[in-house]
Chain A
Amino acid sequence: MTSGLVMYEEEFRLIAGICDRLTRDANAKVVFLVDKNGQLIAASGQAQNLDTTSLASLTAGNVAAMGGLAKLIGEKEFPNQFHEGEKESLHMSIVGGRVVLVVIFDAKSSLGLVRLRVKKAGEELAKVFDGLAKKQAAPGAASPFAEITDEDIDNLFSE
């Protein structure tokens, strides 16, 4: 099996910083970053009242479905998507082939501005994820779960 994504404190701070800056620069309401498998990586802006877990899962489902459609018409994927609502709109872009950057914005911003800022933030994020992948592949990068015992696992289910 392919190994999963591992997020370290240092990279998380970099990522959160990029997302915070994007929220400001793009005049966005919320910015969040989701693993293509539906795991939320980071959220920035007015995310407190949002069900970010559901958002992450549905984002991944949407990107996967659009990716399936892309392949049917001979495209590799649709790297950018825009969904326009009455008040709020949503922009999704695939970063580094692995994660999805989602920006939610209203009339205070515009698609043009969001696109422009997302492009720059996407490039920065891609670099961080490249670094993460290397770190994870490096020898000695054992997961914290290598040391757990069968007993630890049993305890979880004993209630």
Chain B
Amino acid sequence: MSFINYSSREINCKIVYYGPGLCGKTTNLQYVYAKTNPEAKGKMISLATETERTLFFDFLPLSLGEIRGFKTRFHLYTVPGQVFYDASRKLILKGVDGVVFVADSQIERMEANLESVENLRVNLAEQGYDLDKVPYVVQYNKRDLPNIATVDELRRLLNPRSVPEYQAVAPTGVGVFDTLKAVAKQVLTELKRSG
């Protein structure tokens, strides 16, 4: 849910990275954090376990620049991907403006991807959102690994609505900013539409 502040002339939006465990959601944020100018970013917060698995969420505030005198700020969040953290995932989706689904391209993770997309749909619906209507981008991550499904196959299973989709290798940044820009653009377009 966006927050428009006339007083500080700011607009704040919330983007959530969703996807199965170990698909690279946190890695996406880490790359964005590493490559963004210090003045455009805040501190990245990771609430993780001792083994660096996301426990509650990662959070990264970003400034994108100004539109008509309003500073646009995006708050990026990840959810914990592991199946048993569902209660936490639901909480993170509260007030979301745009969603990135990070898919793990490895063939053996296809079931986990499907389960996660379905889980996203159900959890969004619980918050009153429709996955077919929210600003939404799909990222096919881990394209550098050997045992991966083709993009056609991934598209057929995970992107029937043909939303913008990007191939990515998150640790080296391939596709990371393209994904972020695409979802941010959709969020702003939605604001314009509903405004």
A residues neighboring B (CB under 8 Å): 1-9, 12-13, 35-39, 41, 51, 53-54, 57-58, 61, 64-65, 67-68, 142-148, 150, 152-157
Instruction: List residues of chain A with CB within 8 A of the CB of B72.
Output: 156
Segment at the A interface, from B22-30, B104-112, B153-161, B182-190: B182-190
Is B18 an interface position by the 8 A CB rule?
no
Chain A residue nearest to B129 in the complex (CB): A1
B12 → A minimal CB distance (Å) = 5
B residues neighboring A (CB under 8 Å): 1-8, 11-12, 14, 42-43, 45, 47, 56-57, 59, 61, 64-68, 70, 72, 75, 87-88, 90-92, 94-95, 97, 128-129, 133-134, 181, 184-185, 188-192, 194-195
**A157 and B4: CB pair below 8 A?**
no
Can you identify 28 A-B contacts, CB atoms within 8 angstroms? A1-B133, A1-B134, A6-B6, A7-B6, A9-B7, A12-B8, A35-B3, A36-B94, A39-B12, A39-B75, A51-B43, A54-B61, A61-B91, A64-B92, A65-B88, A67-B91, A68-B91, A143-B195, A145-B4, A145-B11, A145-B191, A146-B192, A147-B68, A148-B68, A153-B192, A156-B188, A157-B64, A157-B184
**A143 and B191: CB pair below 8 A?**
yes
Chain B residue nearest to A141 in the complex (CB): B195
Instruction: List residues of chain B with CB within 8 A of the CB of A37.
Output: 1, 3, 14, 94-95
Instruction: List residues of chain B with CB within 8 A of the CB of A53.
Output: 42-43, 61
A27 → B minimal CB distance (Å) = 27
**B70 and A54: CB pair below 8 A?**
no
Partner of B6, one of A9, A65, A150: A9
How far apart sit A52 and B87, CA to CA, in the bound complex (Å)?
Answer: 26
10 closest cross-chain pairs (CB), A and B:
A37-B95, A143-B195, A4-B2, A146-B195, A12-B7, A64-B91, A39-B3, A145-B195, A4-B1, A145-B191
Q: Is the interface of B mostly helix, strand, loop or mixed?
A: mixed
**B42 and A144: CB pair below 8 A?**
no
**A144 and B4: CB pair below 8 A?**
yes
Instruction: List residues of chain A with CB within 8 A of the CB of B6.
Output: 6-9, 12, 144
Instruction: List residues of chain B with CB within 8 A of the CB of A145.
Output: 4, 11, 67, 70, 188, 191-192, 195
How far apart sit A153 and B181, CA to CA, in the bound complex (Å)?
Answer: 10
Partner of B5, one of A1, A7, A36: A7
**A68 and B185: CB pair below 8 A?**
no
Contacts A7-B4, A38-B14, A39-B12 given; does A153 touch B91 at CB 8 Å: no
Contacts A37-B1, A143-B4 given; does A153 touch B188 at CB 8 Å: yes
A117 → B minimal CB distance (Å) = 24
Chain B residue nearest to A147 in the complex (CB): B68
Instruction: List residues of chain A with CB within 8 A of the CB of B134.
Output: 1
